[in-house]
Chain A
């Protein structure tokens, strides 16, 4: 395909059933009530000239190019700000309008550099286009008048430049920053001719509140805000529609290439998850895919102390297969296993779990979702009947009260956060349940109605108290409960116990009872109450209990089964949902069906021609335990850095060191590869061909932008290992893998590459009952029939602060970095976050003599690490916080073996630690003294 240009209809769509019919230049067109004349015209096939209007932003009416004449009205109203009325007759092309439009363009061009031929936006500039469209032939004012041609250029951002000399002050960037992104970092400063775009208060973009989401660059009609890659590489010539490989939002992008070179990633307006928006990672941080650190050839070594030896694919695959088989011969079929990756496509994941179940002949397959959202799988399956968020992202626009629990969307899921903030600005109420004062608690035009700042590890006590208030204050939605749910009475009796009253739990959670009651009433009485949660819910020893607690609460208040409500996990990685759907858990086949189910097994056994074990296999932590103990000796790891990301590093290292064969497939020689015997180079998302499934169950196509740099697709590698082990898996194309997934998985029965190409994306379940997918689940009934109330006792974690380890460490992430940082650390995103820091409350810092910027040690009962401290009152006293984007931080050196009781998801969020100044460490004061010397 050539360069995909999306038709800009000028103003946003106005939803609504009522329509009006108008006549534009004699052509009748019927549009929803409230539609602008400009959009109605565009829909009728007439694009009215415009510069300040774009359909991602509310009409503004500033450029005055889009003037029209309307029968029976005086003057020449702007078509962008004028709504249609029934029977209206509009003329968009008259001599008078032509003259006015030329007059406007004449003014614009009188203050614009005439360097079109050498401008980076040449060919992609709306100002240039409009000069042509209105037929501008002369600028009678000349070019010697007052102008902005010497306005400065801001090159502080690593990804885009701001060239004020080319600015036409249309405010699209300012509006995009506010309306689309919700950051409000940009403004217009000055008045009249002195009006200029300004980041924060006249600062450089990099020094401002700007989060580099790219919305302003996207909105800019000229070369004023321009990707530096376009300046360097030139205007792209073709587009490939694909899906971002960072977080679980799953944004759709147009990868724009010049020849075979990727120039830029442009968010796609039709993308169901992002609707044209993006964040700094997806929009700009794709450079890792071509980073020199990438390994492109297979490598093997006998012992981890040996040097790596590059080999061809054949050798590597034969070596791998032979070693796996040898281990099995010696130690039994169950002595090996595999871990699938939530960063790989559904098709890649599916073949790896098939490799394990059919070729390895056991169920020892698990996925990295084990360490993030496995409690979601357990909890939602128990209560609703399937492991998935109930809503699509669009649904948040209908929510009246939004509850955010243990999630930090503005950093972790920024594009969804923008959608959420838009709704909050419209007046929806926000309840934040988090130990940390995340940005959402108070940011421009958004303020939480309630911030329940609970002690880490007390989620269940809080959700139980909220439910207690609902039940004891008569706020239960009786008709919903009676018609749609079961086991309510037992649960209600359980939850109404005095021990769960807010007054009783206050001393445990630290949340004032009155505040909790107010928040509970707010949620219960909301027309539509929606819960969004993250790893702050799941990564606890009671993670599964908490998921069920939220499900109970949503059912009790009738907040399930329609737009604007629901219980929604915000998934960490791009394909967490998909990797779980694909049967990556050791106890489940695809579509969340237990291996003990004979009928389900039979489907697979027939198709695969291999027996499937009826007993569950090992989970990741069990694999580590079994490796240390000696019964588990070979592991295939697909695209995951377990040595950095899994808890209790010491224990993980011991396990990995004990393996006879560790096969790592990855882009980079990661921390895990230090223990590996075989390294199989992986492909980046730019090379992959397949599908990702995002947090709203949306299956998006991932299309290859380039051929695999390694010479092989990852699914091919898995198939060839299987074949070398004596089990042929023949596919010519990933579409065939999806066809097999559809054949064996009822919820995917209607999914195919053809359908995805046709519809853009679908949300599962997609089958005969829902041929175009299911945006909102459990509408008429729950997947399991009736929603099940499950009592959720609060059992405190074993991890307690003690005199020796008096602080509680909790972890999170930051906007510019992603997970273990393997990708983002290899991009210019390091400009925002060069290292992980320890956030510590001023009081705790003072007690320890720690100043901002000091190097400190952090010790738990399992390990010690060191990092730099940042004094912050976002955390309550007694709680410290860090991120784990850098291996050097070793956050997991201190995390423990504690895990969720039901799923063994690690308890990353609660670790008792002690923090102190690092002996011989660099203090902030010393660092400051050194700085001048380092400056050159």
Chain B
């Protein structure tokens, strides 16, 4: 599994890394928290790339990451 991450787009890797940290919250709250975190700390072009990737290859996203990505404009 670790062998494949290099080919993943960084934005997907990063949001997936964030998403796995929220197993203790219920799904909607977690998705909101993740989206807020990304708004706080991600530069706009990364967010744009993320939303683009969300639409292009949603299967690469962890489910919770995808839910959070959908909350981003």
Contact = CB atoms under 8 A, between A and B. Distances in A.
**A–B direct touch in complex (beta carbons closer than 8 A):** yes
Interface stretch (A124-132, A471-479, A897-905): A897-905
Nearest to B45: A631
Chain B interface secondary structure, helix, strand, loop or mixed?
helix
A861 B44 contact: no
A361 interface: no
Contacts of B6: 861-862, 897
Interface in A801-819: 802
B21 A793 contact: yes
B43 A798 contact: no
Given A586-B43, A615-B43, A791 B24 contact: yes
Chain A interface secondary structure, helix, strand, loop or mixed?
loop
A618 B43 contact: yes
B45 A626 contact: yes
A467 to B, nearest CB: 14
Given A364-B43, A798-B5, A625 B10 contact: yes
Interface in B16-32: 17-18, 20-25
B40 A542 contact: no
16 contacts: A545-B21, A587-B40, A594-B40, A616-B40, A616-B41, A616-B43, A618-B43, A621-B10, A625-B10, A631-B45, A798-B1, A862-B6, A897-B10, A901-B18, A902-B18, A902-B21
B2 A912 contact: yes
Given A800-B2, A861-B3, A793 B17 contact: no
A103 interface: no
B45 A587 contact: no
Contacts of B20: 795, 901
A308 interface: no
B47 to A, nearest CB: 9
Which range holds the interface residue count of chain B? 20 to 34
A293 interface: no
Contacts of A904: 14
Interface in B29-73: 37, 40-46
A617 interface: yes
A793 B22 CA distance: 7
Contacts of B13: 897
Nearest to A362: B43
A265 B9 CA distance: 50
A388 B37 CA distance: 21
Which range holds the interface residue count of chain A? 35 or more
A901 B17 contact: yes
B37 A902 contact: yes
Nearest to B23: A793
B37 A617 contact: no
B24 A494 contact: yes
B17 A541 contact: yes
Nearest to A648: B6
A768 interface: no
A580 B46 CA distance: 23
A232 B40 CA distance: 57
Contacts of A795: 20-21, 23
Given A625-B10, A791-B24, A899 B43 contact: no
B5 to A, nearest CB: 7
Interface in A580-629: 586-587, 594, 596, 615-619, 621-622, 625-626
A802 B10 CA distance: 23
Contacts of A615: 43-44
Contacts of B46: 618, 622, 626
Nearest to B19: A901
Given A631-B45, A861-B2, A902-B41, 20 more contacts: A334-B43, A363-B43, A542-B21, A587-B41, A616-B41, A618-B43, A618-B46, A621-B10, A622-B46, A626-B45, A791-B25, A795-B21, A800-B2, A861-B6, A897-B5, A897-B13, A899-B14, A902-B18, A902-B37, A912-B2
A615 B42 CA distance: 8
A488 to B, nearest CB: 15
Contacts of A861: 2-3, 6
B44 A901 contact: no
Interface string A780-805: 00000000000101010011101000
B45 A334 contact: yes
Interface string A516-559: 00000000000000000000000001100100000000000000
Nearest to A596: B40
Contacts of A619: 41, 43
A352 B65 CA distance: 35
B65 to A, nearest CB: 11
Contacts of A334: 43, 45
Contacts of A622: 10, 42-43, 46
Contacts of B17: 541, 798, 899, 901
A334 B46 CA distance: 12
A620 B13 CA distance: 16
A445 B23 CA distance: 45
Contacts of B5: 798, 897
Contacts of A364: 43
A626 B48 CA distance: 13
A658 to B, nearest CB: 14
